[in-house]
Structure 1
Amino acid sequence: MESVKSQSYEVHLGQLAEAALKQHIAKINYSKVFVLVDENTKEHCLPSFKEMLNHPIDHIFEIKSGEEHKHIYTCLDLWKQLSNFDGDRKSLLINLGGGVITDMGGFVASTFKRGIDFINIPTTLLSMVDASIGGKTGVDLGALKNQIGVINQPQMVLVFPEFLKTLDPRQVTSGYAEMLKHGLIMDAEYWQNLKTDGNFTDASCIQRSIALKNEVVLEDPTEKGLRKILNFGHTLGHAIESYCLENPNKKTLLHGEAIAVGMILEGYLSHELKGLPKLSLLEIKDVFLQYFDLVEFDDNDIRAILQLLKYDKKNSHGDVNFVLLQSIGTAVTDVKVPVELFYKAFAYYRE
């Protein structure tokens, strides 16, 4: 299976990934090799990774899993550990885990000693098809998603689809939401294949999602224009994810679960404002509700969620900018939405 070439690095899959890692480690004389894991990847992924790496690891840093630990205090602890274990500018940090690990590990590496090399090895479907491309690193500010961070590229990204066997089904389905998004925003044929085939953990599907995101990132690496389309479903989805994370009365949602809601809501906005056909809107809602449970929102929830929109990273000059669909496979950016339509979108979602 071919590797995907991004800006300054490549995404390698399967056997190519193992060969690329060994070649890179042999070529670069790193002073220290560190690995970042959480308790899940330490148990389920680290043993096979160490066997495959076949190179001394100077220290393994372990953090607690979950979005609630993706904050600056965890970074402070990791920076201290890197320093305590004699990390220097010629050290390497290997991030072995899901999006929290790769986002935060990339940020820690990018800022320690003003930047050390890092390699991302995503172990969840979500991180394979989303966080593996684009160089976005960072942490949350309280419950607000990814407010602090930098764009900085890894040395390489290594994707081993066999790690997906270690996940519970809910985590795998969460990643499916991002894959469906890739089809909705730029490849109608891919959307059709994904929603009908169901074999979305196949390596060829993972590679296709990586390649689609990479096309966008190569054209717009710093999100000045086209790259914004990757945020379809995320404006409301991130607000929903943050609200459920900080509200003890709501079930905490995985990222893919929250943006699945966001894509139905923003699909409705697309129908109202950009002419997305009614049949396409119904199709989008039907597909997502096949895989994701309906989430209950009352009027108080909706008002609180809408208040969080002001923190969205795409905002400019006080305006909330949305990515919407003209059709399945075609997205438009920087759309302003009248407030009353938000309530109609939630009503449509709850029907």
Structure 2
Amino acid sequence: MAILVTGSAGFIGFHLSRRLLERGDEVVGLDSLNAYYDPALKAARLAILESHRGYRHAKLDLADADGVAALFAETRPSAVVNLAAQAGVRYSLESPRTYVDSNVVGFLNILEGCRATQPEHLVFASTSSVYGANGNLPFNVHNGANHPITLYAATKLANEGMAHSYAHLFGIPSTGFRFFTVYGPWGRPDMALFKFTEAILAGRPIDVYGQGRMQRDFTYVADIVDGLIAAIDRPAQINTTWDPQHPDPATSGVAPWRVLNLGNSQRVELMRYIQVLEEKLGMKAELKLLPMQPGDVARTEADVAETKAALGYAPSTPIEVGIGAFVDWYRDYYGR
């Protein structure tokens, strides 16, 4: 039986797929290899995965209902990890329909595939962005996430609700993860660490929004993968103590469903993040300080107590180590 990983040539999907292959699992990877960012980077990730005998790739758009249904019918995966999505908060202001097609219609196709084949567990990516206007830190899954401030976040919040309905109606155990600012080797070129590194090495100024005072829960990709793998092996269950008069938004009394945070559980100011990058590059950055952008929030921080209790999750990578690993990869990959 294989594990289906959507977005397998993407940043997190690549790292997860490689770890699964290394532990002996068979992986069916789904990725359209679209041009949202450099397709050559996606192709390089894919080449590494395809060097493993246990990997099979399906070049497929998640919004292709017939194609996704056929893939499920053929492979009948034992577990599904849905990481494919149109990512990025800022791009959702420019191309909102892309987000609905990929993140809502595409996720419906995944749910229908699960309905037809009944995998043991569906694990899917949500985002810390669903907390939106909530300013109560650290963000706790038992608090409400009802005020998303970008369409990207709204589509991910919709995914959580859609998964709950299918878990209830069709008994599909489902775990949604709210990721917190993931970074590391093979990262996305549209993310801050990649853009900062590229600009500093080229001698260009870097755009620093929020005057550099924003705080983020930066989470190293290997820690994210640890949480995903722990969840794959521990399907969600119905919460037998759930009270419909005081409903817990993170669990369910009518469905094997839950949402959990995956973060590093500490805030780091953006300026400190840049300082560590300067140290690892051995170069100073020229800063272009700018105001906050629409859709940005001032601070994020994950409460991971529930994730630790459910999965034994223990993020352990400080930014000094994680940024160093990214810089080493970047210099090696780009020869700089």
- Per residue, is there more helix in 1 or in 2? 1
Greater RCO (CA < 8 Å, at least 6 residues apart): 2
**TM-score normalised by L of structure 2:** 0.29
